[in-house]
Amino acid sequence: MLLFVLSRLLPVLGTQNCSNTYSNPILTKEGADPWVIRHEDYYYMTYSTNDNITLLRNKILTNWDSAESRLLYKPEPNRPDSTDLWAPELHYLEGQWWVIYTADPHYDQPIPELDMLCTFNCPAVNHRMFTLVGDGADPWTANFAFKSELNTYDQFAIDGTYFKHKTGLYHVYSCWDSKFESWPANLCVTKMSSPSQVASPVEARSTISRPTNGWENTPNNRTINVRLATNEGPQQLTNPHTGQEFVIFSGGRSDNRNYCLGQLELIGQDPMNPNCWKKHNEGCVFYQNPEEKAYGVGHASFTKSPDGKEDWIVYHGMRDPTNGWSARTIRTQKFTWNEDGSPKFPRPGYGPYEVPSGQ
């Protein structure tokens, strides 16, 4: 009887553990702006859900359809962060778990008296950056509560992230030059006194990248004006072999097939000094692959394989770019490093690919 039971169980167990390949997307339903972090024996993922912040937990990186899920935060109505919650990220800083995210008070629908002040129409004029803080060492059981609105000087701010450096903690985010100058969207950096507080006054805020290249505009090489010229979705990436620090960001418009990843490298010791950043102006470092119908690839985060030996990029992309934002799904692929220490990203696609080492 025991042999009979085992014979029926083994095929089931085998389907869970013996597959050595996977295919994209890693989450079947629509998803965008993914953030993945590995902590102890689990991967944790957040992404844009628009009306709340949801955390997923999973043992493996390459299939999230059956992942555990918990609601971290759902704001009440009539708050500055009540709607359009985008690009949440989970970080462990100063002995606590933090969530940083962007949101808007009213569905990106400013009143006409406000919209008319913008150089172009500006639905995101009220978007700002916010933080949550958890009360425990385990992100899965910690209770998260609203902590702060980050100071972005009462100006547009989206896609903020923490940049950790030996000189301190910094906030890097997508910004405008002024409150109503609705394009271009640049990358700004400010110094922080804590994960919930910005220390820099407005005059010290530094712009480290502007969308001046053709591939950062929509459509590509647009010259008529700067509408839709965009840098957003910055993410810190550290070369584990050389210690080189990069910010990988998204260029172009996120509902477009040409959306791609650009690269900044910190070549000095001061993240607040624009001259300490070297931009890869030659083109995108990760971009569409029409042969595989992988379009609009961007807004990435980075994690490790379970054994810590491999580097992986998690990003969103589209198979049918004519459907815009609703076509985005979450994917992942392994990447390596170039001889100069910069990331060597693969061509985006669907696979099948080998699963991460140690999975």
pLDDT digits (tens, 9 = 90+) for 225-247: 999 999 999 999 999 999 999 99
Q: Provide the annotated active-site residues.
A: 33, 232
- Which superfamily is assigned to 21-354 in CATH? Glycosyl hydrolase domain; family 43 (2.115.10.20)
- CA 133, 138, 194: angle at the middle one, nearest 5? 30
Where the chain has pLDDT below 70, the residues are 1-18
Bridge partners for 89 per DSSP:
100
In angstroms, rounded to a whole number, what is the distance separating the alpha carbons of residues 171 and 153? 13
Close Cβ partners of 7 (under 8 Å, ≥ 6 residues apart): none
Report the pLDDT value the prediction gives residue 9, as an integer from 0 to 100: 41
HEC secondary structure over the chain: CHHHHHHHHHHHHHHHHCCCEECCCCECCCCCCCEEEEECCEEEEECCCECCEEEEEECCCCCCCCCEEEEEECCCCCCCCCEEEEEEEEEEECCEEEEEEEEECCCCCCCHHHHCCCCCCCCCCCCEEEEEEECCCCCCCCCEEEEEECCCCCCCEEEEEEEEECCEEEEEEEECCCCCCCCCEEEEEEEEEECCEECCCHHHCEEEECCCCHHHCCCCCCCCCCCCCEEEEEEEEECCCCCCEEEEEEECCCCCCCCEEEEEEECCCCCCCHHHEEECCCCCCECCEHHHCEEEEEEEEEEECCCCCCEEEEEEEECCHHHHHHHEEEEEEEEEECCCCCEECCCCCCCCEECCCCC
Report the pLDDT value the prediction gives residue 18, as an integer from 0 to 100: 62
In angstroms, rounded to a whole number, what is the distance separating the alpha carbons of residues 345 and 338? 9
In angstroms, rounded to a whole number, what is the distance separating the alpha carbons of residues 237 and 7? 47
Q: How many residues does the chain have?
A: 359
Omega before 219 within 30 of 0, i.e. cis: yes
pTM comes to 0.94
Report the pLDDT value the prediction gives residue 86, as an integer from 0 to 100: 98
Q: Are 348 and 333 in contact (CB under 8 A)?
A: yes
Tokens matching residue 63? 């299939």
Report the pLDDT value the prediction gives residue 19, as an integer from 0 to 100: 84
**Alpha-carbon dihedral sign for residues 63, 256, 175, 122:** negative
Bridge partners for 58 per DSSP:
43
Report the pLDDT value the prediction gives residue 6, as an integer from 0 to 100: 38
